[in-house]
Structure 1
Amino acid sequence: MRHLPAFPDLRAFLGWLDSQGDLLRLSDPVDLKHEMTAVQMAALRRGGPALRFDAARQGDRRAGMPVVANLFGTRTRVAAGLGRSPDEIDDLGAFLAALRTPAPVGGLRDALARWPMLKAALATRPQVLRRAPVQEVMAETDLTALPVQTPWPGDAGPLITWPVVMTRAHGTDPGAAHVYNLGVYRAQVLGADRLILRWLAHRGGAAHARTWARAAAAMPVALALGADPALLLSAALPLPETVSELSFSGVLRGTRAELVPARTVPLMVPARAEIVVEGWVHPGEVAPEGPFGDHTGYYNAVENFPVMRVSAITHRRDPLYLSTATGRPPDEPSVIGEVFNRLSLPLIRGQIPEIRDLWLPPAACSYRVAIVSIDKRYPGQARRVMMALWGMLPQFSYTKMIVVVDDDIDVRSWDDVMWAVSTRMDPGRDLVQLSDTPMDYLDFASAREGLSGKLGLDATTKIGAETDRAWGQVMAPDPAHEARAAALLDAAWRKAAE
């Protein structure tokens, strides 16, 4: 499974990054308002290390704890958070796809070969502790004491950007962790004991909130700040609704998740998180959230979202505060998305076997555009793949444009893709256009909030009934001549260098 050690908490991961020379400690004062974002973005765009701000400042006073940022600012660190090197992500994706739909066991040898899969399944069962590091200190219920960033100049105020928000549906057992939803939803700090949770209608937290509202009951909520990397990445992954993020984190971590009962709400919380904020969301209590800079590169509009009344804050004796900033890519979410793209490919192939590769360009806000290569065998196949992708996962329902190409095209090469679009696509025949389909309402290009069109481009070679013309033959040199040319040029360059 994983060749890196299991990281039980954030500080273990930071210690490992430090040993690899991939953690930078900043002792100079850096203001949480706007300035820290500039430092984070500069480090990320240079492919720099994770950052620990030891002298973060809230205006004229020093923050009460260090701030960690740019944690997953490179693909290598995202892979490390999964316990692997970047070149092992494809194998991990294949393993996870097999874990979801295992083939029948074929004898003792096959059963023994499945041991890693069995071990991973056992690691999905959380372990409940009676005492936990995250509850070493019962702090004053004051959100303003946390070093919360105000990322962008046009932001409405301090914004918690890396919370793992934990909820469960009304009527479920608080001890049944597999029914929990974990999501990363930004949270605007309104004051000492109130914040706004921005969860969209299709997300798990919002679905749980509706069950409590129907029962006219307040919903318990917990925010884990500074969780271990497996839990952070599981909460961010676009997992199917039937897959528990807590359980999935055990598979990624290679060890069982450790939980502890919260102090003031009927929920289990990560035992080794740095900070936990507990509270309640009351039906119908909302407040205007925003504006805040978002992953689109624009400030979103002000809208009402649920208010959480904080009932407790617990933390370690020497806590770290984990933060990030989102903006026009590249940003940390877009880097994470690149790795998740590769991780999900085997699962996508399991549903749509003809897909050979799929790329979600980070510059397209990670999911707005998809480039797909297929092993084309019959007329109309490209259109079938488009429809299958749009309906496969909720995240693909927000993909505005899908370009389908043949498997001789490198989906990550813009030159390759544009050549295919220019020579294999006829706008009068090969465009698929849909209207009034679901869309992220932050997309200001759409005429109406939450609804947008979809565009599919079939840039594959046309076969059978798709065309009445004989298709051209792709030019390619003789491989032997290519090898000879390379040898001649290499020899000439070496001689010239002497």
Structure 2
Amino acid sequence: MRQLPPFPDLRSFLHWLDQRGDLLTVKDPADLRHEMTALQLAALRAAGPALRFDHAHSGGTRADLPVIANLFGTRERVAAGLGMTLDDLPKLGEFLAALRSPAPVDGMRDALSRWPLLRAALTARPQIRRSAPVQQAQDIADLTQIPVQTPWPRDAGPLITWPVVITRPYGTQADQITRYNLGVYRAQVLGPDRLIMRWLAHRGGAAHARTWAQARDPMPVAIALGADPATLLSAALPLPETVSELGFSGVLRGARTELVAAKSVPLMVPAQAEIILEGWIHPDDSAPEGPFGDHTGYYNAVENFPVMRISAITHRRDPMYLTTVTGRPPDEPSVIGEVFNDLALPVIRAQIPEIRDLWLPPAGCSYRIAVVQIDKRYPGQARRVMMALWGMLPQFSYTKLVIVVDTDIDPRNWDDIAWALSTRMDPSRDLMVLDRTPMDYLDFASPLEGLAGKLGVDATNKIGAETTRDWGEVMTLDPAHEARAAEFVAQHISKARQ
């Protein structure tokens, strides 16, 4: 499945990007407060390279660490982080679908035909090290020495935006790695040894935290900053609950995940990361977080979240700090989301076979709008697909608008979608409205916190009992004439423009 060489750490991936002219070292000063955000977003929207800031500063004080940004600022770099080209992504999508619903093996020949899946499963076992690059030094005395951005003008303070947060549930041991959860949750820096962990209630880290709080015991937490690409993307992927993110990163990397025991908390941490923050979350210890700019393009409201108290900071001898910016798309998370959209398609098809394609427009904040292409065969099928999609995966329970189109409509082309809406949809017949359904509480447009309506739009051709009128016939030309026209344009018109 993997086509590229393994990237055991962040710096090997950056070296690979640099060799291809896809890494730019910025030697001019860049202010961590707001200015770096503008530079990151401008470079990303120009499909520019990953960035290394060697002269980051705050208030005129130069940071000791270089800052890496826009690591996954293009679809090609996201695919490379997964170990493959864009053309190879469907294979990974099929593998993810097989993880969720593995087909039964029919004899030895069938088992051998699935050897890539079996080999991937074998490499998923992490390797435990006694010493590690990420524990070479402990020269960073506190959080204020890490060049953390304050992205937006109204942000409450410095915000760690690419942390891989490592937790385990109460009652487990440090060596029970399959019980670990890896998640990417933003973390507000409160001071030298305190930060706020913003994890939403439905996320794995929050679920683990509830088990520790119920036992009234402090919870050990570790944060990997600057992890290798496979670990970063595994932590962000919507993997099945039965699949370990640490184990799956080995599948993506093409090499076993290397872990080492943390210094001050009972957890195993990525051995090849740049920096590890270790600490504890105590029951009832929380603080108001925010406001901060979010992926919607708006500032979040201030809310209480758990406080992590730092007990140790370990790092490489010459560490780098990895950052990103979240805002109105396009941003780096929305680029990653586009790739994850394609990876999820085989999983979706396995559950809803009539779906041919599905697009989550980046401007729709990753998941709030979905355009679904189906192979329509019977009346009411579009509505059945809407309801199936809303109930299939947790993230689709937050999709507020679903538009269903036929196979002759490109679901990733707004002109095609607008034409289907204009010619195949009647508002009095083809809208399905639901009320008081689950919604991301960050969506302030919803009338109630955590509850909102949903709209399904059937923009398919109407068949059978769906209509009493003669349905229109789409105008098409003879394929042979269209082929000749394309040849004519290539020979005469395109050449004339050159």
- TM-score greater than 0.5 by the shorter chain: yes
* In 2: Cα distance, 1:66 partner to 1:497 partner: 46
Residue matched to 1:450: 450
* In 1: Cα distance, 2:114 partner to 2:486 partner: 45
Shift of 1:240: 2.8
Residue matched to 2:319: 319
Verify: 1:51 aligned to 2:57, yes or no.
Answer: no
Letter in 1 for 2:112: L
Structure 1 pair 306–473 and aligned structure 2 pair: CA distance change class (3 A): same
Per-residue Cα deviation, 1:199-248 (whole angstroms, up to 9, x for no partner): 01111111111101110111111100000001100111122323221122
Residue matched to 2:414: 414
Residue matched to 1:299: 299
CA contact (8 A) 1:156 1:290 kept: yes
Equivalences for 1:34-49 in 2 at 5 Å? Answer: 34-49=34-49
CA contact (8 A) 2:354 2:375 kept: yes
* In 1: Cα distance, 2:8 partner to 2:486 partner: 50
Residue matched to 1:357: 357
* In 2: Cα distance, 1:389 partner to 1:226 partner: 35
Secondary structure of 2:231's counterpart equals helix
CA contact (8 A) 1:34 1:152 kept: yes
Aligned residues: 498
Structure 1 pair 495–282 and aligned structure 2 pair: CA distance change class (3 A): closer
Unaligned runs of 5+ residues in structure 1 are none
Letter in 2 for 1:289: E
Shift of 1:60: 2.1
Structure 1 pair 322–468 and aligned structure 2 pair: CA distance change class (3 A): same
Secondary structure of 1:137's counterpart equals coil
Residue matched to 1:284: 284
* In 2: Cα distance, 1:350 partner to 1:494 partner: 43
Residue matched to 1:137: 137
Secondary structure of 2:391's counterpart equals helix
Shift of 1:191: 0.3
Of 185-194 and 384-393, deviating more is: 384-393
* In 2: Cα distance, 1:491 partner to 1:40 partner: 42
* In 1: Cα distance, 2:261 partner to 2:318 partner: 21
Shift of 1:82: 0.4
Residue matched to 2:477: 477
CA contact (8 A) 1:140 1:312 kept: no
Verify: 1:213 aligned to 2:195, yes or no.
Answer: no
CA contact (8 A) 1:124 1:249 kept: yes
Shift of 1:113: 2.2
CA contact (8 A) 1:164 1:232 kept: yes
Letter in 2 for 1:204: G
Secondary structure of 1:310's counterpart equals strand
CA contact (8 A) 1:230 1:249 kept: yes
Q: What TM-score comes out, normalization by structure 2 length?
A: 0.97
Secondary structure of 1:474's counterpart equals coil
* In 2: Cα distance, 1:170 partner to 1:360 partner: 36
Structure 1: which 4+ aligned runs deviate by more than 6 Å?
none
* In 2: Cα distance, 1:360 partner to 1:437 partner: 20
* In 2: Cα distance, 1:240 partner to 1:382 partner: 27
CA contact (8 A) 1:163 1:186 kept: yes
Shift of 1:391: 1.2
* In 1: Cα distance, 2:391 partner to 2:201 partner: 17
Secondary structure of 1:434's counterpart equals strand
Residue matched to 1:404: 404
CA contact (8 A) 2:100 2:240 kept: no
Letter in 1 for 2:308: M
CA contact (8 A) 1:167 1:180 kept: yes
* In 1: Cα distance, 2:428 partner to 2:368 partner: 23
* In 1: Cα distance, 2:334 partner to 2:259 partner: 29
CA contact (8 A) 1:180 1:244 kept: yes
Residue matched to 1:266: 266
Equivalences for 1:137-176 in 2 at 5 Å? Answer: 137-176=137-176
CA contact (8 A) 1:81 1:230 kept: yes
Residue matched to 1:94: 94
Secondary structure of 1:339's counterpart equals helix
Letter in 1 for 2:471: W
Per-residue Cα deviation, 1:77-108 (whole angstroms, up to 9, x for no partner): 00000011111111221133224433333444
Shift of 1:174: 1.4
Residue matched to 2:227: 227
Of 101-110 and 402-411, deviating more is: 101-110
Residue matched to 2:427: 427
Letter in 2 for 1:400: K
Unaligned runs of 5+ residues in structure 2 are none
CA contact (8 A) 2:150 2:159 kept: yes
* In 2: Cα distance, 1:497 partner to 1:402 partner: 41
Per-residue Cα deviation, 1:405-443 (whole angstroms, up to 9, x for no partner): 111110011111111111111111111111111111221
CA contact (8 A) 1:438 1:451 kept: yes
Secondary structure of 2:281's counterpart equals strand
CA contact (8 A) 1:223 1:277 kept: yes
CA contact (8 A) 2:75 2:86 kept: yes
Structure 1 pair 283–496 and aligned structure 2 pair: CA distance change class (3 A): closer
* In 1: Cα distance, 2:3 partner to 2:406 partner: 35
Per-residue Cα deviation, 1:148-179 (whole angstroms, up to 9, x for no partner): 00001111100000000111110012111111
Shift of 1:496: 5.5
Letter in 2 for 1:446: S
* In 2: Cα distance, 1:331 partner to 1:146 partner: 23
Residue matched to 1:63: 63
Secondary structure of 2:449's counterpart equals coil
* In 2: Cα distance, 1:147 partner to 1:166 partner: 21
CA contact (8 A) 1:345 1:357 kept: yes
Shift of 1:497: 7.3
Letter in 1 for 2:248: F
Residue matched to 1:335: 335
Structure 1 pair 224–497 and aligned structure 2 pair: CA distance change class (3 A): closer
User: Kindly, what percent of the aligned residue pairs are identical?
Assistant: 74
Letter in 1 for 2:123: A
Per-residue Cα deviation, 1:368-423 (whole angstroms, up to 9, x for no partner): 10000011111211111111111111111111100011111100111111111111
* In 2: Cα distance, 1:148 partner to 1:379 partner: 55
* In 2: Cα distance, 1:294 partner to 1:78 partner: 21
* In 1: Cα distance, 2:495 partner to 2:412 partner: 35
* In 1: Cα distance, 2:184 partner to 2:486 partner: 50
Per-residue Cα deviation, 1:340-381 (whole angstroms, up to 9, x for no partner): 000110111111111100000001111110000011111211
Shift of 1:494: 7.2
Letter in 1 for 2:378: Y
CA contact (8 A) 2:72 2:335 kept: yes
* In 2: Cα distance, 1:475 partner to 1:348 partner: 32
Of 442-451 and 257-266, deviating more is: 442-451
What is the root-mean-square deviation of aligned Cα atoms in Å? 1.4
Shift of 1:141: 4.2
